[in-house]
Each structure stands twice: as structure tokens, then as C-alpha cells.
Structure 1
Amino acid sequence: MDLDNLAIGLICGVAVMARGAMLIPDWSLMPSSPSQFSSLNRWLRQFASLPEPAEFDYPFARSDIAMLEQVEAGPVQLDEQTWDEMLLDDYHMQLADQTSILGQQRLHQRLASGMASAASRARITALLAAPAQQAALEQAMRPLRTADMEVAALLCGAPPSAPPWWSRWLLLPTLVLLVALLAAWLVAPLAWAVVVPVWLFLMALQMRFYDRCKPWARSVFTLQQILLVHGRLGALDSPFTAQLREGVRAAGVINRQITPLGWIKMIPLLSEYDDWLMLGNIRRYFHSLRVVRRERAFLRQSFRLLADLEADVALARHVRGRPQFCWVQEADARQLSLDAMVHPLLGGAMPLSLRLDGRGAFISGQNAIGKSTLLRGVGLNLISARAFGFCYAQAAHVPMLPLYSSMQNEDSLDGGESLYIAELRRARELLALAESGEPALFLIDEIFRGTNHLESVAAAAAVLHSLAARHLVIVSSHNLVLGPLLEDCLAPWCVRRDDAGALQLAPGVLQATNGIALLAQRGFDAGIADKAGRVFDWLSTHMAQPADCGGVLERA
């Protein structure tokens, strides 16, 4: 039985015996249902100043999860638009299931910075081969999931300010107050002239630091769990915890130094009096702050070791049993090969294969067949390859390049920006990144759909040709004329269904479109479909499949 439950039991006994000192308690007053017992439990905890039991997996804000990457300011390989378009928040949530804030922050940092390492790959491989040891690690790290405050900024960012010199003497005004109260009560009523200003001084200090003590107590709780888990893992006879063994003793010492006295909180209302009359919370705040400042290097190392280990455990749990999983092999900047690739966020996704050698890809296909999903699948696999070293495919040879996308440009009423202006702004950003000289990979979906067809094709051809001259570009579009226009730098690929209805990615440009056929399927009458068909036939003779356009951009 832990101390909290023991205290509640003692209080229950005292409460029952207090009913007129009866020898036989009135059992009708005892809780008779789980909800009543829960209410009594909660009331007793409040009466005894006991904290509520810690809950698992506190829902952290995105800014908290990104804090480690922000404070360490590593090389970011994904801008915000690419992050959103690749659905990386959803992907991160899937990876970080049953993971504390430490592991969540490390996974986010790897995704943003592309920090796959040989050591992480070796550990994940070993964890996949040892499920029993992985289960033991997960059990030992379970207390980390009760943390409800991130501490990356505290440990890895700027150090906290030093406590003021007078913080070591906070018991002195309390002693003066007690002496003055005793004197006023026994011998010297004039001592009230001392009691009142000292009491006001204590109240002023409490109001000055109260808002600072509350979040700090949550940070200290997180540090306590880190030190507790450090000790638990270091005590395990496991090759995965060898780096933690040396600091087991130090972790225990520091944990005891920053842990407040537990017996104070077990006595009814004593903790509140301790805070308001003896400045207990402020004294604990300054004391633990001094300990954290003194031991910050050890705490930071412990934080990083646990975050790395928990991230690798989460990744091993994520990929275990996946049929589409492989370790990647690095390819040249202009080569890419993904065999039987799937999108990890789509259950039951059909595998597709894509191979590029020297040129990027122009992808066409009928409406709603999955071109955008294919681009996101490729992008997410490339990000996973850079961040973790694996892909969701049977085999993968990919370049370890920064990735940038343009897939969901939208107009903005607040910013006074039309769709086409938003597309132009993003295209200019991509061109600026391309001109920086660093090799990169660009994913673009339906470029310049915000203007008329002729200008859309013209602007798209110019921008894509410039990007693809020096970088690997994968683009999808319904403007099929871009296929032959850009064939010198983008290999044409078409997403289609085979006779069995399965998706496949084959060389070439889409031949049979379905935009007109969808009119009838969506309830338009035959007259509308007939008129649309006649206009389409007329336009097709002029633009859809031109006889000679391969050299237009070169001549320009």
C-alpha cells in the first residue's frame, strides 16, 4: 500500500470514529457505488492536501512538442508548408503513440531535421529482434508518460536565472512572525505592530512568486520522473541501457534533493499553511532551482539519453509486423527507386513502384485516382528515410535531400491574396530555394490552377523546367500538355488501374481522361455532357496532344 492510500485510509477511519465515538460505524454513510467512492476519494485527497494520481499521456500542444528542435536550433530540412502538406502532425501522432513528451520531442526533431543515425538504426534493429527486452524497457519508462510539463527549454535552452541572495533566508520572516504572535498573546500586545507588517510581507512574497511556483512544480515533477526512470533503466541488465548505468547513483541523489518532504502533504491542510505562513512553496522553488542549475549538465544528458531511447522504442513498436518496411540505401541526387511503396497513414493502401534515373517525374492520371495521395506517399517515405533511415516499401534507394512541396496553396481573404497570387508566392519561394545551390527534391501538385488554362500551362512549364534543370522534381497535373513539353527533364508516368482494378504506375501520359464522363455520373443531364464533349473534342485538336513541342523551352 502506498503512502497516499494509507493516508486516505487513516482519514476514513478517523471520520467514521468521529461519529459520536460509536463503537460500531454507520455503514449506511459509506459509499455504495463506484461514483460515490470516487467522489469521497477526491474529497479526502483535497482535505488531506494530496495530489490527484498522475494520468498518462498528457495532451501537449504542438509548440511544446517542437520545443526541443527550436531550442537546439538544428538544420531544419522542412519548411512549415511542406510539414503541413505532408500531414506530418498526423504522422508524428501515429509514431508517438504511448510515448512521453521526451520521446515526442525527439521524434519531432528527427522529422524536422532529418537526423537518422547508424546508432539509432542498430538499436531499432536490435529491439525488433528482442520483443521481451523492449517490453521491459517500456514498463520501466512508463512513469515518463505521467509528465505534464515539457523541460527541453529548461535543460537545453538558456539557463534559468540564479535565485536572489535573500532566498536562503526565507524562514527568517516566518520565525519573526511566530515570535511576535507569541509575544502579542502572552506579554506584549504592542507586538501586533510587528505581526501585521511581517504578515503583509509574507503575503506579498506569496503573491509575487505564486504564479511562478505552480508551473515550476510541474517542471520539477517531470525532472523527478526522468531521474526515476534513469535509475530504473540503469538497474536493468540490458544492453540497451548501458549508457545509463554510470549515472544511476547521481540520479537518485539529485531526485532526493529536488523532492519536497512527502509527510507535509499527508497532514490535512498542513501544506496550505506551510505555503502561506512559512513560504513552503517558495522555499521549495528556490531550493530546487539551485539544484537544477547546479546539476543541469547531468539532467540534460539524462534527458537526451532517455529521449533517444524512448524514440527508438516507439519506432520499433511502430514498424513491428509491418509487411511494407525496409531500411533504405542512399542513392545519388538524381536517382530514386521505391519498390511496392505504401502511404503509412492509409490502411490497406495499394503498393506502387516508382523509379527515376537522371530525370524527375511528370505524373498524370484520371480524376480521383490518387495522384495527390501518391505524391504525399512519396514525400512521407522520403522524410522517413532522412529522419529514421527506413521506408514503407519492399526496397528503397533514395537521395537524402531536403524536401519542399507545393500542394495546397489557397486564397486568403484576410491577406487579400488570390489563389494564383498564393501559387506565385510559393513558386517564388521554391525557385529561391533552388537557386541557393543545395540539392533538393520538390513535390508539386496541380501548379498554377488559379489562372486560365493557357497562362497556367505557360507559367507552369517555365517554373518546372527551371526547377528540374538542377533538382529532382516530381509533379502531378491535369494539364497533359506539360508531359511532352517537359519530357527532357521529367519522365512521364501515369497512374492507372489494370484489368483487375489494382492501381499501377506505368510510363507514359494519360490517354483516356474521365472529366466529361464524371458529369453524367454526378447527375448532370445528357445535354450538358454532350456540349462539354464537343468543346473538349475541338480543344483536343489544338492543345491536348500537340505534334511537336519538345523544343519550345529549349528554343526560348
Structure 2
Amino acid sequence: MTQDILNTYRKNAANAQAEANRFKKLANKYSLMRLGVFALFIAGVSVGVAIDNFAVIAITSILLISVFVALVKRQSEFERERDYFTDLVRINENEIANIEQYDNLYDDGDRFGNDKHFYTSDLDIFGKASLFNLINRTATVPGNNKLAVWLSAPADKQAILQRQEALRELSRKSNWKLELQALLLFAKTADVAQLSNLVKYLGMPLDMPGESWIKKYCRVAPFITVVAIILSAYFGVKLVWLVAVFGHLGLVASRGAQIKKADLVIGKIGATLGKYAQAFKKAEDEQWQSPYCAGLSNQLKEKQTSAEIKELSVLINKFNSRLNMLVGAVLNIFFLWDLKQIIAIEEWKRANKQNLADAFEVLAEYEALISLASLHINYSHWAMPQIADGEAYTLAAKNIGHPLIQPNKRVVNSYELRDAFKVDIITGSNMAGKSTFLRTIGINTVLALCGAPVCADAMEVSVVNIISYMRIKDSLNESTSTFKAELDRLQMLLKAVGTIPKVFFLVDEMLRGTNSVDKYLGSKAVIEQLIAKNAVGMVATHDLQIARLEDKYPAYVSNYYFDIQVINGEMLFDYKLKHGECKTFNASLLLKQIGINVAG
């Protein structure tokens, strides 16, 4: 099954590379043609100067500049296609690397890390070798933010079910997903300030003096210029030509402050918007069955998002024609080009500025969905979890494993908490698998409650709020000792149990920062307080005395353990969860391996 999807990605990459090579050759061909046209232009102007014939210069300039512009446009189209297929190669190769080595060219979400969050630090949600690093396929900043939000808190049942249905549809549209990723890959390295600056600019009025009459004059400016050329060429009235030329250039220069202001914000974003327009068009044109995807697509269609953004992109690119000094001068002489485009952009702003932010929010949701869909496509044997109802807690899984552990090293377990209020105590030796099991339950629950498939054969889970107590760290910056940090985390847990609905806690070795007597007494007191609050969760511990709570609360506490086998002094781990208490511990054996003998 995995080999089939890998073969599909390899075939996709090979086909995309062939297309990229084809468009590269076409782009190079048109580049040479442009060079030839430029040489003809120089020759034509030289001949006109040599024979002192202004008409030859004018006609040659207009004709060859038009041809040159057409060739530039065509070459740009080929280069866009080349870049698209090159990115499609990268996208498919990234899926291969993601499956085989858990590598990912997308952001790992390290900036979302927060040691004080309920669970993201303990469960490796963000950062290097994290869940975010495994699943992220978002190239835009809004997309990254959206996926981070989904992984940081549970969705409600309706949202989860809608996302699940959307993922099932997206898994049947794997090519569409890859193509959208290729269209958006540029955004991964784009200037993150561009879009925010554009949104600010769209909200700022132009305030250009004389905008109304300048707009009207721009319509007749080309005719005035042509008449001036005819009068100069055929009737010897050269002063008319000079008045037209310097009059138009002077008018453009008189509004230089507005032109410069626009250029600073939008001068480099035209091509970027054109790429975004292609991505929006991709989402609009696809036929969707799932209500979630169809709703997102309809939002874009209703506002004609791709057409609007493409229109703005075209306007900005036209404005940027001024960057070529020769072309810009000719355009301003004939058309007052800079002023005409600035006014056109201002009219676009007045009509469409409100829609832009909403459109990128829709695109962010598509990106977050395709990130989750990558799991469903690449690991089709993973289960889509059921979401349980009821006041009590359900968290049941068959053959559940940790998604960040490679399949050849992953050990799976089954676990069942069904419509109940319980605390499970898990004892076991060092390195036997207690912590990994808690993280396995936690990280898969995070996946389930954001709408994603889980690394299990089957899973049913209530909508719960996970709170973990695992990697407790001291802080020099906050003058916090390990024990104080543990107390703060416990306080957070106990407060949350009383104020947040349906907390499911994961506690790994409570109060390790104090002596063994206080550790036991404190841990026992905390667990009993959690029981009194009808709290539900798991506690992993080395302290067998904690397991005695099952005797005191037989209806509420259950014991599980991970053990080892010691054969000829060698420790063998099976990492399998079992009912009962652990009877075999390995601390003395581990100490002996480093040369420390513990007296009996």
C-alpha cells in the first residue's frame, strides 16, 4: 500500500520534470527572439538618425517595442509554466521524503511552541521532529497560523465531522491537492510583509489632486501625442511634439509623491498576486461534494475572488512597465501611463478592498485541510476516528501507535475507556514505554479532535481538553526551580478540572523534584483530589505505592503496567501494555551497566 503511493509520487515527479524541461526550452527560445528584436530596434533607430527621418524612428520604435512587449509576455508565460512544474516536482519529491524519512520542506511550526500550553510542548506538536513538521503543507502565513490553531485546541463535534468528510474527498483528489500545493509553494519564501502591507495600502485613499480631470485627460492623451507626431513629421511643426512630450512627462512628475508611495507598497507584488489568483481559481473551478469544501469554494465564487485578484495583479504589472526606462518613457509620453494605472488601481481598491482578507482566510482553511489530507492519502490504513457523545468519557483505540515513530520501530497497543469516569495508573521500569504510551494517546487524540486520521486501526474518542504534565522544566529567566514549575503545572491542572469541560489529563512521574516521601504523599493527595473532582486521565509512575489506590477506589482506579524480561542479565522490552502492577524493575541493572553496583 505504501509502495503504491510512493510509486505514484515518483511517476508524478518524472512527468512534471519532463514538462518543466519543455517549457524551459521554450522560454530560452523566446529570450533569443527578444534579443533579435532589440537588435532590430537599435538598427532601425540608427537608420532613422542617419537619414534624419523622424517618421522612421517613430514607426520603428512603436512597431518593435510592441513586438518586444509581446515576446516578453509570451516568455513570461513559459517561465511561469516552467516554475510551476518545477515546484510540482518538489512537491511530489517532498511527499516521498516525508513518507520515507519524515522530512518536510514546509515550516516545522517552531514559532508556535509554548511551554505553558496545556499540551503542545509535552506532546511534540510544534518544532523539529514534531507533529506539525510531519503534516504541514501550508505555504502561506495565514495557512500556518490556521493549522497551528487547529492543533492547539479541540474542535467541536460538528466541525470535526465536516473536516473528516472534506479529507475523504480530498484524498480522492490527490492530484488537485498536489497541484494547489505547487501553485502556492512560492509563498513559503515570499516576503511575509507583502500581503499585510498590501492590505494596509488598500485601506488608504489615494488623495491625488486633480484625479477626476486627469482620468479624463488620460483617455485623449494618446490622440494628442499622435497628432503632435504627425504635425512634427509632416508639417515641420516640431515645437508641438516637444510641448506634448514634456507636458505629459511634467504632469506625471507633478504627481510623483503618489506614484512613489504606491510603488513602495505594491511595486513588487503584482507577480505574487498573479500566482495567488491561480490558486484561488484552482479552488473555485473544482467541483466539490463535501459541504465544507463546497462552502469554501462558494465563498470565493460569490466574490469572484480569482478574477478580482488577477485584475489587481494585471494593473500592478502594467504599472511596473515603468521600471523599464525606455518603455516607461514611451508609455508616459503617449498614455500618461503611471497616472492612468494608479487611478485604475485606486478604483479597484474602492470596489474590492473588503474582500481580500476574507479570501486569504478561505485559502488558509484549504491549506490546513490539505495538510490533514496528506495523512489520509499517505497512510490510508490509518483510521478515521469516531467522535463519541455522552457526559462520561470515551477514549478507546485498537492497535494505536505513535505517528512520529517510524513504522518499522513502532509498537502498537490497544486501550479502552468507554463511557466512564476513571483514572488509570501505569507503572513500569525505566525505558519500558510508559511515557511513549501517554504521548501516543495524547498526540492521536489531538489528531482526532482536529479532524485528522489517527495512527490506529480504530479509535473512538469524546471531545476532551487534554492537559499534560510531562516535561517539567526549570526557568532561569523566571527564577523558577523544577519543583516550583511542577507545582505551577499541578495548579493549572487542578484549576482546569474545575473550570474547563471534559479535561483528560496525562501525568508522567509527578513531583519528581522532591524527596521520595513527599513525592509519594503529594502524588497520592493530588490523584485523590482529581478523583474527588470526577477527573479522568492517566498517571505514569515508578512508585508502586500509588498503585494501591486501586484498592481504595476499585470502581475509579485501574492499574496497568509495562514490564521487562531479564534473561542472562540482558533486558528485553516488548513495550506492550498489560493489566495489573509492574513487578520487575531495572534501575539497578541500568546502574550496573555503567559500573555502579547497588548493594542488596
- Common fold: TM-score over 0.5: yes
Tell me the equivalent position of 1:314.
371
Displacement, 1:502?
A: 3.0
- Residues 358-395 of structure 1: CA deviation (Å, up to 9, x unaligned): 31211111111221111111111111111115322122
Tell me the equivalent position of 2:208.
166
Displacement, 1:59?
A: 5.7
Asked if 2 retains the 8 angstrom alpha-carbon contact of 1:363 and 1:495, the reply is: yes
Tell me the equivalent position of 2:149.
109
Asked if 2 retains the 8 angstrom alpha-carbon contact of 1:364 and 1:493, the reply is: yes
Tell me the equivalent position of 1:440.
503
Q: For 2:399, give the aligned amino acid.
A: A
Quickly say closer, same or farther: Cα 1:495–1:213, change in 2 above 3 A: same
| In structure 1, distance between residues paired with 2:530 and 2:396 | 20
Within a 5 Å distance, the mapping from 1:371-450 to structure 2 comes to 371-388=434-451, 390-436=453-499, 438-450=501-513
Asked if 2 retains the 8 angstrom alpha-carbon contact of 1:121 and 1:389, the reply is: yes
Displacement, 1:352?
A: 0.9
- Residues 446-478 of structure 1: CA deviation (Å, up to 9, x unaligned): 211111111122222222222233221211122
Contiguous gaps of at least 5 residues in structure 2: 1-22, 45-71, 92-104, 219-237, 567-571
Contiguous gaps of at least 5 residues in structure 1: 22-44, 67-75, 176-181, 535-556
SS at 2:121's partner residue? helix
SS at 1:146's partner residue? helix
Tell me the equivalent position of 1:269.
324
Asked if 2 retains the 8 angstrom alpha-carbon contact of 1:65 and 1:104, the reply is: no
1:465 matched to 2:465? The reply is no
| In structure 2, distance between residues paired with 1:485 and 1:153 | 57
Quickly say closer, same or farther: Cα 1:326–1:233, change in 2 above 3 A: closer
| In structure 2, distance between residues paired with 1:467 and 1:167 | 70
1:86 matched to 2:123? The reply is yes
Tell me the equivalent position of 2:10.
none
| In structure 2, distance between residues paired with 1:87 and 1:109 | 15
Tell me the equivalent position of 2:543.
479
Asked if 1 retains the 8 angstrom alpha-carbon contact of 2:386 and 2:460, the reply is: yes
| In structure 1, distance between residues paired with 2:281 and 2:310 | 12
Displacement, 1:149?
A: 5.3
1:144 matched to 2:202? The reply is no
Quickly say closer, same or farther: Cα 1:324–1:250, change in 2 above 3 A: closer
| In structure 1, distance between residues paired with 2:432 and 2:143 | 36
Quickly say closer, same or farther: Cα 1:15–1:154, change in 2 above 3 A: closer
SS at 2:149's partner residue? helix
SS at 2:576's partner residue? strand
| In structure 2, distance between residues paired with 1:363 and 1:284 | 70
Quickly say closer, same or farther: Cα 1:201–1:313, change in 2 above 3 A: closer
1:355 matched to 2:416? The reply is yes
Tell me the equivalent position of 2:223.
none
Displacement, 1:415?
A: 1.9
Percent sequence identity over aligned pairs: 19
Tell me the equivalent position of 2:136.
96
1:8 matched to 2:31? The reply is yes
Quickly say closer, same or farther: Cα 1:476–1:122, change in 2 above 3 A: same
TM-score calculated relative to the size of structure 1: 0.69
Asked if 1 retains the 8 angstrom alpha-carbon contact of 2:106 and 2:139, the reply is: no
Match of 1:295 among 335, 341, 352: 352
| In structure 2, distance between residues paired with 1:152 and 1:393 | 42
1:515 matched to 2:595? The reply is no
| In structure 2, distance between residues paired with 1:144 and 1:346 | 29
Displacement, 1:514?
A: 0.5
| In structure 2, distance between residues paired with 1:293 and 1:406 | 52
| In structure 2, distance between residues paired with 1:164 and 1:19 | 39
Q: For 1:253, give the aligned amino acid.
A: A
Tell me the equivalent position of 1:229.
279
Displacement, 1:16?
A: 8.1
Displacement, 1:286?
A: 8.6
Asked if 1 retains the 8 angstrom alpha-carbon contact of 2:383 and 2:459, the reply is: no
| In structure 2, distance between residues paired with 1:307 and 1:373 | 32
Q: For 1:311, give the aligned amino acid.
A: A
| In structure 2, distance between residues paired with 1:61 and 1:517 | 38
Tell me the equivalent position of 1:549.
none
| In structure 1, distance between residues paired with 2:386 and 2:545 | 34
| In structure 1, distance between residues paired with 2:205 and 2:42 | 49
Q: For 2:205, give the aligned amino acid.
A: P
Asked if 2 retains the 8 angstrom alpha-carbon contact of 1:65 and 1:101, the reply is: no
Q: What root-mean-square deviation, in Å, do the aligned CA atoms of Structure 1 and Structure 2 show?
A: 5.0
| In structure 2, distance between residues paired with 1:517 and 1:361 | 27
Asked if 2 retains the 8 angstrom alpha-carbon contact of 1:149 and 1:222, the reply is: no
Asked if 2 retains the 8 angstrom alpha-carbon contact of 1:227 and 1:302, the reply is: no
Displacement, 1:400?
A: 0.8
Higher helix fraction: Structure 1 or Structure 2? 2
Asked if 2 retains the 8 angstrom alpha-carbon contact of 1:81 and 1:405, the reply is: yes
Displacement, 1:17?
A: 8.6
| In structure 2, distance between residues paired with 1:134 and 1:160 | 36
- Residues 201-234 of structure 1: CA deviation (Å, up to 9, x unaligned): 94x76776766446xx54x655543432332343
Tell me the equivalent position of 1:493.
560
Tell me the equivalent position of 2:305.
251
| In structure 1, distance between residues paired with 2:186 and 2:339 | 24
Displacement, 1:292?
A: 5.3
Quickly say closer, same or farther: Cα 1:264–1:200, change in 2 above 3 A: closer
Match of 1:328 among 382, 386, 395: 386
| In structure 2, distance between residues paired with 1:167 and 1:465 | 75
| In structure 2, distance between residues paired with 1:229 and 1:377 | 36
